[in-house]
Structure 1
Amino acid sequence: MHHTLNKRLFLVLFSGCSITAPLMAQNKSGEHKKDTLTTANTQKTLGEIVVSASRKPVTLDNVPSSVTVITKKTLESDMTINTDVTDILAREVPGLAPGTQTNSNVGQTLRGRSVLIMIDGIPQSTPLRNGEVDMRSIDPGVLERIDVLKGATAIYGNGATGGLINYITATPRENKIISGRTTINTTGSLTSLKNSVGGRISQMLQGKYKKFDYIVSGVAEETGEYKDAKGKLVGPNYSLGETDSYNAFAKLGYQVSSRQRLQLMYNYYRSQQNSNYNVVNGDIANGIPASGVLGKPAGVSTGSRGNHNLHLVYQADSLIGGTSLTADAYYESRDDVFYVSFGRFEGGDGQSHTLDKKKGLRLMLNSPLSNKYEVNGTLSYGADLLNDETSQPLVDGRVWVPEMKMLNYAPFAETQWNLWQNLILKAGIRVEKVHVTVDDYNTLPLTGANGAIPPSIRVKGGDLDYTATLFNAGIRYNRLPIFMPYFSFSQGFSVSDVGLALRDSKVNDLKKINTEAVLVNNYELGFVSEHKKFRFELSGFISTSKLGADMIFDPNTGLFNVSRTPERIYGFEAAITYQALHNLDISASYSYLEGKADTAKTGGSYNVYLNGRRIAPPKVSAAINYRPLKALEVRLQYMGVNGRNRFEKNSKGVYNGNEGRVKAYNLVNLNANYKITPHTMLTLGIENLFNEDYFPARAQWFMIPNQYAKGRGAAFNIGIAVNY
């Protein structure tokens, strides 16, 4: 479907920009051939696919780790169900936690740890104060594909302790001066149509003229009320119902010469809920979901007020000694608004928002070390520079998390060798140097569960400095298609939500706060097996860290605190694809994850399970894609979330926050598209085909009454797409 299929050609590009031309794979006799990828949705040339799994272009066969690629065709198919990218990722990526069906990705970890979200290599995540809303940073309609690299990695820097997700934006395909695509969709509930109808319109234009190429796009979408399987309103707190989303995208390229290219990209994304309901808390003990009553919610609209990305890339090939150069500069800013917290803050109710601005420069050189058939080696080297300013004030101006200014400099080098076309060796090093500055500030006291309000503390600011040397190494052997094993060791680094530690400070000096960074070691062992139209991949992993960042509920205060204890997470993933007939494709996957903390810090006794915010229950997915007619394609997709119960109830007879029991549920989606003309396509999607009545996993383990909401019941999505 979208997985790392067959022994084929993929590119791995550091900058994440789709600015390389299709390549040709070379067979052992020295002849060139074009390889093709047969997926559940399409057959296409693999040389056209670029994935962000390393700092240099290599074939995916040369990547000794697990990578998932969601192609444009798969994205388009999934979008006929819904356009929530967090839900698309959950259905398509083994190892990623189930979607939350909200505008927040709290708990949607990758292999139990935080994931770095990027757009064309531009970081969207805010590790200084992780608001966990970064997955919804761009509309999927402007994406060429999504690359997911699993396991701790440092290749793109701070924050990828669980892996990275890179949204690759579209580039012009047609050689015409102008061509385009228009899509119009209407959506709504099949259990209660009243007030549930929404709509979406998307317009994209692209073209090439002499040395210039361009692509521009605009998307506007409005969702109606979300209804559960019984036709009742889904709890509106953070719901994606009644949400208005807009995306504006433009990319301009200029081919300076046959060996040089400039490219400028800008993307704007805004997604805010404008609900007509106030939330009514659910009753967790009795299984009564959160709902809503008519009324204007307090505060300003929640969601992303605006996420801006500006990216300039310069690429030059065949410099001295065959060296290539990629240099880029970027700017990113975002403003994400959260719900009003009633009675929580001293001085009255409050509504917070995270503000983040990033400016970065990156330089990478790639030099060949040997081009011989028996021994082929390359060296990639360069440096990244990032300036990040993050804060979390209240909307009314009160300071909750003070502004943190980070300067991150990281030189790196990575070498890769291909021996006798079968044995791949890879090793790299990256040195992270991080400097964070915080001015003096006063903590904003929070009301505890017992009603007590602690005093405000005047905290002396100062500087925080981090230095970490990170390594990666891997080996893969591709001699026999029936068994191609790989092993990798990689390290990841994160400053671990400094802002959360600052806002919860109980001391009067920055130096006394535990803000030590998290360093993760990741070990992965796996293999790929291919035979004709069958492919199977199995990978197992262990992830360890001497310091964790687990959110633990304190029943005495009713607040969540960060636990800095050693952690060990382990699990495995399996994926299979099979083309049963020329018009019938089958795929399935299974992922299992477990994690524990060494609360006594004994150095080896991992005695306490990590909670649901970190460890997702096992997940099963499957899909059948059938093309009965040349113009008709039908896809049936399944996702099953298994149960997880690791904790005991407290003295009140309920589970503590983040520790709730997850009961299993099963979801089936159906989508179809039919070409009525060569340029016009009708689409139909049915979400939750069998109208499963369920609570999403996060609603169950979170144990927050105002977010104890049901999942969406059966819903439709009808559309038309016109290409010209």
Structure 2
Amino acid sequence: MITAAAQQITVKGVVRSAQGPLRYSVVQIKGSSDAAYTDKEGRYSLETARQGTAEIVVSLLGYAPQTRTIELGRENLTADWLLEPASRELDEVIVSASRKPETLSNVPSSVTVITRKALEDNMAVTTDLTQILANEVPGLAPSAQTNSNVGQSLRGRSVLVMIDGIPQSTPLRNGEVDMRSIDPSVLERVDVVKGATAIYGNGAAGGLINYITLSPKEDAPIAGRTTVNLTGSLAGLKNSTGGRLGQQLHGRLGKFDYVVSGMYERTGEWKDAKGQLVGTNYSLGETDSYNAFAKVGYTPNSRHRIQLMYNYYNSRQYSNYTLVNGNFLTGQPATGVLGKQDGQPTGINGNHNVQLSWQADSLIGGTSLHADAYYASRDDVFYVSLGRFEGGDGQSHTLAQKKGFRFMFSSPLGGHGSLSYGADLIHDVTSQPLVDGRVWVPEMKMFNIAPFAETQWAFFNHLVVKGGLRIEKVKIGVNDYTTLRITNASGGTVTPSFAVAGGDLEYTATLFNAGVRFNKYPAFQPYASFSQGFSVADVGLALRDAKVDNISKINTEAVLVNNYELGFVSKANKVRFELTGFVSTSALGAEMVYDAATDLFNVSRTPERTYGFEATAQYSPVANLDLHAFFSYVEGKSDTGRTGDYNMYLNGRRIATPKTGGSVHYRPLNTLELQLQYTGVLERDRFSKLPSGLYKGNEGIVKAYHLFNLNASYRVTRSTMLTLGIENLFNADYFPARSQWFMIPGFYSKGRGAAFNIGMTVKY
């Protein structure tokens, strides 16, 4: 028997960019192995035996992929393509502002989205997420370049950090180490929602940072990329070299899709601009980091999807040096001398996140459901406190475990509105013992249930109106415990050891949000919003330093924050400009204060107000040149007399200096991209010196400094990319802002001098 061969159809064409033909582009029929590569003239010839409707995808490393639906018949076809460079800016993108698919043009508040392209640009220089966020997000305080994000506030208040909506922050005992919870190589993007928000619950007094993890993008059964990097100091090469190795695989097998990734990074010694060792307290030098990530999805039909995600991150410092304190008065920076560090290595000793989610669309009445259950645990190890505890030294670590379940229904209301409603449940167990087992902060067991509802309406196709409420019910239980005796340098008692009776702390709060946005005219798209945020006080801080014998004497009333925002977006030709002003108020401060007259521990009753503005601009004068700039200003004061007169500035731990920044992206060739990035930290001088020449705690003057980073990427072949990054290009000699306002000798470290990062990425 003779079998007729299937007729072959040829699809031909040219793939170009605005600068000319694109070599090595992949032209593939989606869902099949039929593919072709372009030659040096950008030409391709794709043969297939398929008939009927097919989707053709064209992709090239460094460019945004394009998909086109083509009808395949018996005739050969011609299809030409014009690819755009992968963009750092997204105008229409799903964000975390409402916990459901939404575009930026419908959000009545300020949101910064760090795209995958922007992440890759920054990773060519540094993989420190605190530094990447500081480079990209107006309103976020500068990075201290350590494994701690102490003082890195957002608009002067605390920020809630999440991974795919799973909270990483520990508000019950805030160790301020939550920004470095995952490696940026497994992130699709980062959503930063600025201003108080209750949409994800406790802790977002200043906003939220949501790390969105990778999802598979290709239909091939297996694809992936391998990355190799070499790093080191240009200011002092000796012992400074380090390396990084990453491997990712992803693909689609029938109704299943997957992403798996592994990363290991080892940094060498960090050197300042003079080639001297940067102080070792929480330094990211001599640090080993690991990240393991997996995501598996199952889509039985177009209406349902089930997904399982797991991420593990570990980053600890294994230094060959012991700390030499700095001196704020003399300007002497902290450094180190050869020797064994005290205690265990500091850093993240394991951060685990597991999430199982289910998405169901087109239920009764067009309602959709998104539900997920998650488990998260972390162990963060802090530095050794010399002679602080009875019996000598002590080293603490924060242990936190979270179990949560969330569900949300979204229902259409007529043709112009929608209603989202659901509830969040979380069980959080947090403690801060010493690593030798002594109890410093006992276990705090929090159960939080929060029903919520939000509605959105679109009128006349241009006016978007939103409003919602959320009810927080929180219960925190603490068992009886005994405090540790705290001593001074000579061994004298600062706080005696005594028994404290446990009990329950309960909170209830009803939170509202409302917003409006008008999008009719591209040149002027105004928006306004009011939102409230909720955060329990740092209960663990009160428990460990307790001066009372019963937790019922600790008044830990939660902090309720009101955020008012007014702004607009303007688009004209190749320019986008956004200006936002904000005011944030709270009747209570966030710090615990002991009142000796009443023998009670209270939340600071001092009302607070923070305010400021942010401006961003993007401009693409020609196809191969992108310009970006921003400026942010935040200030904060407290009403010490509770008279309505906000007369006392908030300190540097809360309020960041004015910050400016920008970048220039230039593509002189289709295979070459260059970026120069600038971050300027300006001066803040709000407080008077003490007679000693020092300032009160956290009130040190911050003197300005300016940093430039350079990165270049060159596509060698269709699958191979070389990158070169130089951090602190001009080798600026400076103290980061936190070193300056903190003034603590052990943390008075200089910033990193000029450093290099050479990388190679192979995609297949």
Take 2:565 and 2:495, find their aligned partners in 1: how far apart are those partners? 46
- C-alpha distance after superposition, 1:136-173 (max 9, x if no partner): 00000000000000000000000000000000000001
- C-alpha distance after superposition, 1:14-40 (max 9, x if no partner): xxxxxxxx999xxxxxxxxxxx9988x
Matched, 1:440 2:480: yes
Which of 511, 515, 524 lines up with 2:552 in the alignment?
511
- C-alpha distance after superposition, 1:586-610 (max 9, x if no partner): 01000001001112223x1211111
Matched, 1:394 2:434: yes
Take 2:524 and 2:89, find their aligned partners in 1: how far apart are those partners? 24
How far off its partner does 1:649 sit?
1.5
- Secondary structure of the structure 2 residue equivalent to 1:86: helix
How far off its partner does 1:678 sit?
1.0
Take 2:351 and 2:184, find their aligned partners in 1: how far apart are those partners? 14
Take 2:733 and 2:397, find their aligned partners in 1: how far apart are those partners? 33
Q: Which residue of 1 aligns with 2:87?
A: 42
Take 2:84 and 2:97, find their aligned partners in 1: how far apart are those partners? 21
Identity of matched residues, %? 69
Matched, 1:347 2:391: yes
Checking the alignment, whether the CA contact within 8 Å between 1:37 and 1:44 is kept in structure 2 is no
Take 2:684 and 2:593, find their aligned partners in 1: how far apart are those partners? 18
User: What TM-score, normalized by structure 1, do the two folds share?
Assistant: 0.92
Take 2:304 and 2:97, find their aligned partners in 1: how far apart are those partners? 23
Q: Which residue of 2 aligns with 1:617?
A: 657
- Secondary structure of the structure 2 residue equivalent to 1:128: helix
Structure-2 change in CA distance of 1:285 and 1:294 (3 Å): same
How far off its partner does 1:502 sit?
1.3
Q: After TM superposition, where is structure 1 displaced by more than 3 Å over at least 4 residues in a row? A: 36-39, 43-47, 448-452, 550-554, 560-564
What does residue range 128-277 of structure 1 map to in structure 2 within 5 Å? 128-277=172-321
Matched, 1:413 2:458: no
Take 1:430 and 1:500, find their aligned partners in 2: how far apart are those partners? 27
Take 1:313 and 1:46, find their aligned partners in 2: how far apart are those partners? 27
- Secondary structure of the structure 2 residue equivalent to 1:502: helix
Q: Which residue of 2 aligns with 1:18?
A: none
- C-alpha distance after superposition, 1:314-365 (max 9, x if no partner): 0000000000000100000000000000011122110000000000000100
Q: Which residue of 1 aligns with 2:760?
A: 720
- Secondary structure of the structure 2 residue equivalent to 1:351: strand
Structure-2 change in CA distance of 1:402 and 1:534 (3 Å): same
What does residue range 531-610 of structure 1 map to in structure 2 within 5 Å? 531-550=572-591, 563-602=604-643, 604-610=644-650
How far off its partner does 1:453 sit?
2.5
Take 1:429 and 1:168, find their aligned partners in 2: how far apart are those partners? 25
Checking the alignment, whether the CA contact within 8 Å between 1:381 and 1:413 is kept in structure 2 is yes
Matched, 1:465 2:506: yes
Name the stretch that deviates more: 360-369 or 478-487. 478-487
- C-alpha distance after superposition, 1:526-579 (max 9, x if no partner): 00111011011000000000111248999xxxxx99744210000000000000
Take 2:222 and 2:493, find their aligned partners in 1: how far apart are those partners? 65
Q: Which residue of 1 aligns with 2:533?
A: 492
How far off its partner does 1:656 sit?
1.9
- Secondary structure of the structure 1 residue equivalent to 2:616: strand
Take 1:656 and 1:238, find their aligned partners in 2: how far apart are those partners? 23
How far off its partner does 1:44 sit?
8.6
How far off its partner does 1:458 sit?
1.6
Take 1:631 and 1:42, find their aligned partners in 2: how far apart are those partners? 15
Larger Cα-atom Rg: 2
Q: Which residue of 1 aligns with 2:566?
A: 525
- C-alpha distance after superposition, 1:243-286 (max 9, x if no partner): 00000000000002210000000000000000000000001101
Take 1:384 and 1:269, find their aligned partners in 2: how far apart are those partners? 25
Q: Which residue of 1 aligns with 2:73?
A: none
- What residue ranges of structure 2 are gaps of 5+ in the alignment? 1-65, 69-81, 596-600
Counterpart residue identity of residue 263, structure 2? V
Take 1:537 and 1:552, find their aligned partners in 2: how far apart are those partners? 40
Matched, 1:83 2:152: no
Q: Which residue of 2 aligns with 1:638?
A: 678
Q: Which residue of 1 aligns with 2:28?
A: none
Checking the alignment, whether the CA contact within 8 Å between 1:37 and 1:46 is kept in structure 2 is no
Structure-2 change in CA distance of 1:553 and 1:185 (3 Å): farther
Take 1:220 and 1:507, find their aligned partners in 2: how far apart are those partners? 47
Take 2:554 and 2:609, find their aligned partners in 1: how far apart are those partners? 24
Take 1:562 and 1:344, find their aligned partners in 2: how far apart are those partners? 25
Matched, 1:428 2:472: no
Take 1:331 and 1:340, find their aligned partners in 2: how far apart are those partners? 29
Which of 329, 333, 341 lines up with 2:377 in the alignment?
333
Take 1:174 and 1:635, find their aligned partners in 2: how far apart are those partners? 28
Checking the alignment, whether the CA contact within 8 Å between 1:637 and 1:669 is kept in structure 2 is yes
Structure-2 change in CA distance of 1:102 and 1:351 (3 Å): same
Matched, 1:704 2:748: no
Checking the alignment, whether the CA contact within 8 Å between 1:38 and 1:44 is kept in structure 2 is no
How far off its partner does 1:42 sit?
2.2
Take 1:321 and 1:553, find their aligned partners in 2: how far apart are those partners? 55
Take 2:470 and 2:235, find their aligned partners in 1: how far apart are those partners? 53
Q: Which residue of 2 aligns with 1:114?
A: 158
Take 1:456 and 1:323, find their aligned partners in 2: how far apart are those partners? 57
Checking the alignment, whether the CA contact within 8 Å between 2:367 and 2:410 is kept in structure 1 is yes
Take 1:609 and 1:23, find their aligned partners in 2: how far apart are those partners? 54
- Secondary structure of the structure 2 residue equivalent to 1:349: strand
Checking the alignment, whether the CA contact within 8 Å between 2:390 and 2:484 is kept in structure 1 is yes
Structure-2 change in CA distance of 1:212 and 1:383 (3 Å): same
Q: Which residue of 1 aligns with 2:703?
A: 663
Which of 327, 335, 341 lines up with 1:283 in the alignment?
327
Matched, 1:360 2:404: yes
Counterpart residue identity of residue 611, structure 1? N
Checking the alignment, whether the CA contact within 8 Å between 1:358 and 1:388 is kept in structure 2 is yes
Checking the alignment, whether the CA contact within 8 Å between 1:37 and 1:45 is kept in structure 2 is no
Checking the alignment, whether the CA contact within 8 Å between 2:407 and 2:424 is kept in structure 1 is yes
User: What TM-score, normalized by structure 2, do the two folds share?
Assistant: 0.87
Q: Which residue of 2 aligns with 1:311?
A: 355
Matched, 1:63 2:104: no
Q: How many residues align?
A: 680
Counterpart residue identity of residue 496, structure 1? A
Matched, 1:320 2:377: no
Checking the alignment, whether the CA contact within 8 Å between 1:612 and 1:701 is kept in structure 2 is yes
Checking the alignment, whether the CA contact within 8 Å between 1:656 and 1:703 is kept in structure 2 is no
Structure-2 change in CA distance of 1:552 and 1:720 (3 Å): farther
Which of 149, 168, 180 lines up with 1:105 in the alignment?
149
Q: Which residue of 1 aligns with 2:52?
A: none
Structure-2 change in CA distance of 1:228 and 1:553 (3 Å): farther
Which of 669, 690, 697 lines up with 1:629 in the alignment?
669
- What residue ranges of structure 1 are gaps of 5+ in the alignment? 1-21, 25-35, 555-559
Checking the alignment, whether the CA contact within 8 Å between 2:220 and 2:251 is kept in structure 1 is yes
Counterpart residue identity of residue 133, structure 2? L
Q: Which residue of 2 aligns with 1:7?
A: none
Structure-2 change in CA distance of 1:698 and 1:260 (3 Å): same
Checking the alignment, whether the CA contact within 8 Å between 2:91 and 2:105 is kept in structure 1 is no
Counterpart residue identity of residue 344, structure 1? R
Counterpart residue identity of residue 389, structure 1? V
Take 2:548 and 2:690, find their aligned partners in 1: how far apart are those partners? 30
